[in-house]
Structure 1
Amino acid sequence: MSAADAVAAELRKALTLPATLAGLAVAVLGPVALAALNASQGTADSAAEAALAAEPLITIGAIVLGVIAVSSEYNGGRQIASTFAAMPRRLTVLAAKAAAVAVLVAVAAAVAFPASLLVARLVAGPGPGADDVLGRAIGAGVYAVLIGLIALAITVLTRSGIVPLIVLIANGSVVSVSFLLYLVTPLARYLPDLAGMRMLAGDDRIAIDDALAPLPGGLVMAAWTAALLAVAGAVLVRRDA
């Protein structure tokens, strides 16, 4: 089986899982619903801002997709053994899963923002424009892809979806451990979620004063993602299925 075949197989496998469809629904319908709410309540200056403010919900769906891609292999009958039998090269399996997650999240992000913008305009009218709409929308998509891959890597390490789902979703939506660490040391701004925050949120929604700019922050987040995937690959190769 070639690498391309492995990616196609992982995509087919993922799309047969109800949890994957739920993650895609959260990543697409969540931002659309929130954008409509933002527009109807006048919490944003324009339809574009209402749509951009809803983009962080994509990350929740991305986390679900990253976790499910791995945790589904260990549920019930431990399908991972069959997966490794079909593709003995474990690093290829990991790369194929990562590629499948990246594709699914990128497609969800590409659909979510235009749909959110359309709904916000239908609710509130176009209104004034927003600064660098396309750049911020692309940044949100890149952030979502990277956080989905981080979720995948952590799930490989834990072999369970519960821990990464609770930790990553809570950290991004309930209480940010990274932000609490930032209150102790400014070095916490180099943690992956805070490093990439300027890709995801506008300046008025950044909780820290010295957040990294979108490009260097994205590079730091990408470095964290690569490092975690490398560790996950090393662990996957060495341990029993």
Structure 2
Amino acid sequence: MSAVDAVAAELRKALTLPATLAALAVAVLGPVALAALNASQGVTDSAAEAALAAEPLVMVGAIVLGVVAVSSEYSGGRQIASTFAAMPRRLTVLAAKAAAVAVLVASAAAVALPAALLAARLVAGPGAGAEDLVGRGVGAGVYAVLTGLIALAITVLTRSGVVPIIVLVANGSVVSVSFLLYQVTPLARYLPDLAGMRLVAGEDRVAIDDALAPLPGGLVMAAWTAALLAVAGAVLVRRDA
């Protein structure tokens, strides 16, 4: 089986999982509904801001997609043994799963953000401040893909989807452990979620004073993602299925 075939197989496998379809629904339909609600209640200054304010739901969907791509292999009948039988090269399996998650998350983001903008404009009109939507929309898509890959790597290490979902979703929506650490040391701004935050948030909407600029922050987040995937690959190769 070639690498391309492996990616196609992982995509087909993922799309047969109810959790994947639920995650895609959250990532696509959730932002549309939330953007329309934000616009109708005047929560933001423009349709563009209403759409971008709904972006955290794309992150939730990305986390679930990254987790389920791995955790589904270890639930029920432990399909992981069959997966390794079909593709003995474990690093190829990990790379194929990572590529499949990246494709699904990027596709969801590419649909969700324009649809959310359209919904907000239908409700409240375009308003002002839409000029940076494309750049921030692309940044949000990159952030979502990297988040999904981080979730995948952590799930490889835990072999369970419960802990990564609870930790990552709570960290992104309830209380940010990285932000709490930032109160102790400014070095916490180099943690992946804080490093990449300017990919999504405008300069006037960041939670810390010395946040990294979008490009260096994105590179730091990408480096974290690559490192975690490398550790996950090393663990996957060495341990029993």
Structure 2 length-normalised TM: 0.99
Give the 5 Å matches for 1:131-150.
131-150=131-150
> Matched residues in 1 for 2:164 and 2:204: separation?
29
- Paired AA for residue 118 in structure 2: L
| 2:227 counterpart residue number | 227
Contact 1:56 1:200 in 2 (8 A): no
SS of the counterpart of 1:184? coil
| 2:156 counterpart residue number | 156
| 1:73 counterpart residue number | 73
Select between 215-224 and 27-36 the one with higher mean Cα deviation. Answer: 27-36
Deviations 1:98-130 (A, max 9, x none): 000000000000000110011001100111232
Identity over aligned pairs, percent? 88
> Matched residues in 2 for 1:126 and 1:79: separation?
48
- Paired AA for residue 122 in structure 2: L
> Matched residues in 2 for 1:93 and 1:162: separation?
22
SS of the counterpart of 2:222? helix
- Paired AA for residue 73 in structure 2: E
- Paired AA for residue 144 in structure 1: A
| 2:216 counterpart residue number | 216
> Matched residues in 1 for 2:156 and 2:220: separation?
21
| 1:58 counterpart residue number | 58
| 1:34 counterpart residue number | 34
Residue 205 of structure 1, CA deviation = 2.1
Contact 1:197 1:217 in 2 (8 A): yes
| 1:112 counterpart residue number | 112
- Paired AA for residue 40 in structure 1: S
> Matched residues in 1 for 2:167 and 2:56: separation?
16
- Paired AA for residue 165 in structure 2: L
| 2:199 counterpart residue number | 199
- Runs of 5+ unmatched residues, structure 1: none
